[in-house]
Structure 1
C-alpha cells in the first residue's frame, strides 16, 4: 500500500531528521546576541546563514533587510495559484546572552543532544521554532507532490526581538506591501506541557510610564516645615494607594473601556487546562495569589488588564534617619492591556487621573514609552481552526486546547499594520528554560512542529479561500 499523506510526511521527516538537526546545531553555534554590541557581527552572520539556508530549502526569494539596528530576514515562496491565500510566518534569530559561568552544564553555543533534548542558547527561543518551518515545507511538498507550497508563503525573521524590537514596527510599516498576508503565523511561543498540546490565541499589550514629582527646590527640614508644605513622596504613595480598590479593580476612569467580557465558553476552555496553582506559585517565587476579584489566576494573567507599580522612590534611603521633606519622588508604572483597549485612550486616562491627584505646590511630569497593542484571534476564525487541525494530526488526534500569553510582543504590530489575524504555533514547553541557563528543546516535540507545518499549508489554502 502506498503512503497516506500523514505517513508520507512522517517518513520524509524521519529520513531527513539527522540533517535537519545538524543544520540547526550549526545555526545555534552562531552567538547572535542582539543586546551585546560585541556580537553585532554574529547577529549579521546569523541572518546571512538563515537567508542562505532558506534559499537552499527552495525559497526563490531570500533577502536580508537592514534596520538601524540588527538585520531581519525575509523569504517568499509563491504558490503559483492565483487564488491561493498568503501566509506570513514570524520569528526571530537573535538570542539572549549566555555564558558557561551563568550555570550552564555545557557551553551555551556548542549545542549538545542528551536524552532526546538539544541543549543550546536559542534551541527553543527561537531558532529551533523558526527552523522547523524549513523541513516542514519540504515535507509538505514531498507528501503532496507539489513543487511549491499550497499557500503563498512568506517569512519575516527579525534580529532584535530579545532587545525589545526597537525597529520592528517601522520595518513592518515601510515594507507593508511586501509583507501583505491573509494570516500571520507566530512561531515564538509554546505549549502548556509535553502532554497537553495547546494553541495560543492572544497576547496582552503593554504601556508604561514614569512619573516625576517635584516639591521644594531642595530637601528641607521636616521639623521646620513638615505639616505645612506638600511632600512629593507622600503624593507618590497616595497615587500608588489609589490605583486599586479593595477588589483589586483599577480605579482609573475609562481604563476598562472597550473590553468585551469573557464568555462562558472562554472561561470553560481556560478551566479545562490542568492548572496547579501551588506549582505555579513555586515558579512565580511567590507565597500567595492576589488579583482582581471575580477571576481565576489564569483569567487574571491572560484576559484582564493590570496596573502595576514597577518602582517607587524618593527621599533619603541611607542608613539611619534623616528628617527631611524630600524635594522629589518618582514612580514607574506599567499597564498590561487586553483586546479592546486602546493604548492612546489609556494614556490619556492615566494622565488625567494623575493630574487630578497632584496638590498645589507639587509639580509633576509624566512620560510614556512606546506602547505595544494587545492581539487576540477569535476561537472560530478559520485560520485558527486550520492550526488546530494541523496540530491535532501531528499529535495523533489528541485534543488541542487553548491558552493565551500574559506577556507582550511584536505580533500585535503585524496585526495592527497588516490587518491580518495572528495565529500562534509553537511546540516549546515551560521546562525548555527560555532566557535561562541550559535552554533546550525536546526533539520529539520539535519534530511535531515540523509535522504540524507540513499539514498546515494545505489546510490554510482551503480554509482561507
Structure 2
C-alpha cells in the first residue's frame, strides 16, 4: 500500500475541482459528433482542444494522430525510473448525436450543472471520464512531490468510437511501438450505482450478420404455387426459430467451443451485487426476464454468449393482404461472445448452420459486418488488484466486480498490444449514455480523479520491477 496520505490527494482534487469543471464544460461545448459528416471539423476541434489541455497538464509529448477518418490524440509522460511499468489510458472524444428536440431539458452542447450533476452530451460518455485523468495525474504529482508520474503514462483518445471505431485497429497496428505498454486502463465504462463502487473485469465480443434468402425469381401466386415451392419468408422464420433450443441455448453447432465457463467464486461475486430484477426490467422496458436456463440475469448479460434476432422481413408489408409466395426474405442476427470464443470460428459455424438448414430451391447469401473479440482480465491479476485498491481508497468502501454485456475496442487493445485490459470508470446507469439529458455525477468525477491518482503509485510499487522480481 502506498505511503502517500489520501488526504493530500483529496485536498488537491477539491481545490482544483472548480477549474477542472470549467475546462470540462468548455470541451463539452464542442459538438464532436463523429457520425455526422458535417461535424468533422468539430471532431477535429475537439482533438486539438484536448491536445492543448494535455500539454498544459504537463505531458511533454502530445500529438494529434490522423486516420482516414477522424483524428485521435496521443500523449506520453515518461517516468523518472526507466524500469517503471508502462500504462496506456484509453478513451474517446467523439460523442453521439444530440438535439434539444430529442427530449433534452436544456441544449445538449450547452452544459448545465444542477444539483451536483453536469448535463451535456459527452459528460459521461466519454469526455468526463477521459478528462478526469488530467486532474488525477496532477493530484498524483502534487501529493507525492514527483516531477513525473510513477509509471510511464500514455493516453490514446480516439475520435470514432461512437461510429464503430472503423480505423482504430489499423491505428493501433500502425503505432504499436509507440503504444507498447504493460497494461491498458479503459475509462469508458461505469459502476453499478452511486452507492456501489465496482470494477469491470471484461467485455463481451460481437459479430453480426445479414442472411438474404432468395426463392422464386419473382413474387408468385400463393394459390397456384403455394405449398409446392419453397418460401423464403417461411425459411427465414424457420431459421430464426431454430437459433435456440428449448433451454434457450444457442443451437448453432460449435457455437460454445472454447467458452470460458464461470467459476463458482466468480458466480458468488456477481451474486453479491444488489440486483433488483423488477428495477432492471423497468430499465429494459420489458415485462419478464428470459434466457439461457441455469444462469441468472447478470450471468446471462455479462458472462454468457448469446444470439439475437435483430430483424426479420420478407414479402408483402402493406395494408390488407396480398396472397403471394415472396421472392426474397431477410434475417439479421447478432452474436455476443465471451472469453474463449473466436469470432472467425463463430462466423464459420453460423455459415455451416444456415447452409445445412435451408432446403433446395432457396439460395442464400450471408454478410458479416466485422467482429469484436471479447476480453477478460483474471481476477487475480496484480494490475487489477491495483485498480481495486485505488478505487477502494477513493470511495472508502469495498469494491465489487462487474462485467460489461456490450462490446467495444478494449479487445483490439488487448490483442494488438498484448497487454491486460483494466477498467476504471465512474459513470452510473442513471447517466443516460446515448439518451436525452446525459449527465455525470460531479462528486464521482472527483472520486475517479482520486482513484487515478492513487493508481499510478500503486502500480509502480506493487507491479514495478521489484514486485516482478
* TM-score band, normalised by shorter chain: over 0.9
SS of the equivalent of 2:118 reads strand
How far apart are 1:260 and its partner, in Å? 2.1
Partner of 1:367: 367
How far residue 464 of structure 1 moved from its aligned partner, in angstroms, is 2.3
Rounded to whole Å, the distance in 1 between the matches of 2:317 and 2:419 is 50
Pairs within 5 Å for 1:29-428: 29-396=29-396, 398-428=397-427
SS in 1 for 2:373: coil
Cα distance in 2 for residues equivalent to 1:5 and 1:75? 28
Kept after mapping to 1: 8 A contact 2:4/2:144: no
Q: Distance in 2 between matches of 1:445 and 1:174?
A: 35
Match of 2:330, SS state, is: strand
Misfit runs of 4+, over 6 Å = none
Deviations 1:76-96 (A, max 9, x none): 000021210100000000111
Stretch moving more, 60-69 or 3-12: 3-12
Distance across 2 between alignment mates of 1:365 and 1:101: 40
SS in 2 for 1:329: strand
- Counterpart-to-counterpart distance in 2, 1:88 and 1:349: 35
Tell me the distance in 2 between the aligned counterparts of 1:29 and 1:303. Answer: 37
1:91-120 CA distance string (max 9 Å, x none): 000111111122211221111211111111
* Paired residue secondary structure (2:280): helix
Deviation of 1:5 after TM superposition, in Å, equals 2.2
Which whole-Å deviations, capped at 9, do the CAs of 1:204-239 have from their partners, x for residues lacking one? 000011111111100111111112111111111111
Q: What is the deviation of 1:160?
A: 0.6
Deviations 1:29-87, CA, capped at 9 Å, x for gaps:
11111111111111000000000100110000010001111100000000021210100
Residue 430 of structure 1 is matched in structure 2 by: 429
1:453 matched to which residue of 2? 452
- Deviation, structure 1 residue 462: 2.2
Q: Which moved more, 1:342-351 or 1:220-229?
A: 220-229
Residue 241 of structure 1 and its aligned partner are, at CA, apart by 1.0
**When the two structures are aligned, how many residues end up with a matched partner?**
462
Show CA shifts across 1:119-146 (max 9, x none): 1111111100000000100110111111
Task: Give distance in 1, aligned partners of 2:112 and 2:214.
Answer: 55
Partner of 1:443: 442
- Structure 1: runs of 5 or more not aligned: none
- For the residue of structure 2 that corresponds to 1:20, the secondary structure is helix
TM-score of the aligned structures, taking structure 1 as reference length? 0.98
- Extract unaligned runs of 5+ from structure 2: 465-469
Q: Once structures 1 and 2 are overlaid, which stretch shifts more, 197-206 or 35-44?
A: 35-44
The worse-fitting range, judged by mean Cα deviation, of 182-191 and 223-232 is 223-232
3-state SS of the aligned residue for 1:178?
helix
1:4 positional shift: 5.6
Is the Cα–Cα contact under 8 Å of residues 393 and 451 in structure 2 kept in the other structure? yes
